[in-house]
Amino acid sequence: MEKIHNVCVIGAGVMGRQIALNGAVSGFQVALTDSFPAALEKAGAWAKSYLTTSVEKGKMTQEEMEAALGRLTVDQTLEDALKQADLVIEAIIEEEEAKRELFTTVSKVAPAHAIVTSNSSYIPSSVFAPLFSDPGRLANLHYFNPAMRMKLVEIVRGAHTADETIETLKEFVSAVGKTYIVVNKEIEGFVVNRLLRAVQDEGYFLLENGIASFEDIDKGAELGLNYPMGPFRLMDLTGLDINYYNRQRHYKETGDEADRPPRALEERFLRGDYGKKTGKGWYSYE
């Protein structure tokens, strides 16, 4: 397997644009693509603004900023973005059917040597393995939000994933300044989100039984356990829609009423209160 030089990131939302910029800043040629031109335009403006702030804070030079932006292309079609890809990172909406449709195209268009990964935090790559003639190059590569700052990336091995794919992904993650953990078997939620879900579940129990407000539960986690942010504040950051979709999908798989999305979460999801990205979730944001 060849070294990774060219990266294609599919999905220019909050996660995709950060993953793409992280790769460009780290010296990789990155093509960011999205089916919505407005999303690409917004991502390009965000990248320039983000790096301009970094220059103003003395974290990088003007020349380094211009070089990084020169390595990031944000106006290509999916087919054009895939042509030279050594690594594909899917970062679209957390819905299985949407991803399946996308990977059907990727399996036909991406170069035969390219490693193909999903940034999904819950949907394992084995779901899409039948779409590929060589599923050995398929895996999950799960970044955490905000991807420009969070240091960890989960590399998730499916039963179909080749050892060489895992080793190449380790090299790539290190090259973009991140630390990796390898999840050796696919499991619901991988490692970090399984730990997080346990905390969230207890938070929902305390909230819905009237034991404490979500604000005080967050304070307990932050000041009593020294968490950077409590479970509800973290949901606002990562997106209540993503939390809802993942819980709803898990509930459909198990049929267990205990896995049904909590009522307080469902109410906010149905109102469109997804957290910071919509201006309101558990908390309100000016």
Residues 6+ apart with CB under 8 A from 26: 175, 176, 177
pLDDT of residue 76: 79
Q: How far apart are CA 173 and CA 67, in angstroms?
A: 20
Answer yes or no: is pLDDT of 1 > 50: no
Please state the rounded mean pLDDT for residues 188-210. Answer: 95
Residues of the binding site for NAD(+): 11-16, 34, 94, 99, 121, 145, 277
What separation in angstroms does the CA of 199 have from each of 9, 194, 195, 221? 31, 9, 7, 9
**pLDDT band for position 75 (cuts 50, 70, 90):** confident
First-to-last alpha carbon distance for the chain, in angstroms, is 48
Does 142 qualify as catalytic in the annotation? yes
pLDDT tens-digit readout, 205-256: 999 999 999 999 999 999 999 999 999 999 999 899 999 998 998 899 899 9
Does 121 qualify as catalytic in the annotation? yes
Domains and their CATH numbers in the chain: 6-183 (3.40.50.720), 192-278 (1.10.1040.10)
pLDDT of residue 250: 87
3-class SS at 136?
Answer: helix
Element (H, E) at 252: helix 240-254
Q: How far apart are CA 63 and CA 149, in angstroms?
A: 21
Please state the rounded mean pLDDT for residues 12-39. Answer: 97
In 28-133, alpha helices (H): 37-56, 62-70, 78-82, 96-109
The count of other CB atoms within 10 Å of the CB of residue 124 is 21
Which residue of the set 125, 142, 160, 186 is catalytic?
A: 142
Considering the entire predicted model, what is its pTM?
Answer: 0.88
Does 6 qualify as catalytic in the annotation? no
pLDDT tens-digit readout, 42-58: 999 999 999 999 999 99
Q: How far apart are CA 130 and CA 249, in angstroms?
A: 20
pLDDT tens-digit readout, 106-161: 999 999 999 999 999 989 999 999 999 999 999 999 999 899 999 999 999 999 99
Which residue of the set 22, 90, 154, 160 is catalytic?
A: 154
CA 44 to centroid of chain Cα atoms: 18
Phi and psi torsions of 110, nearest 5°? -65, 145
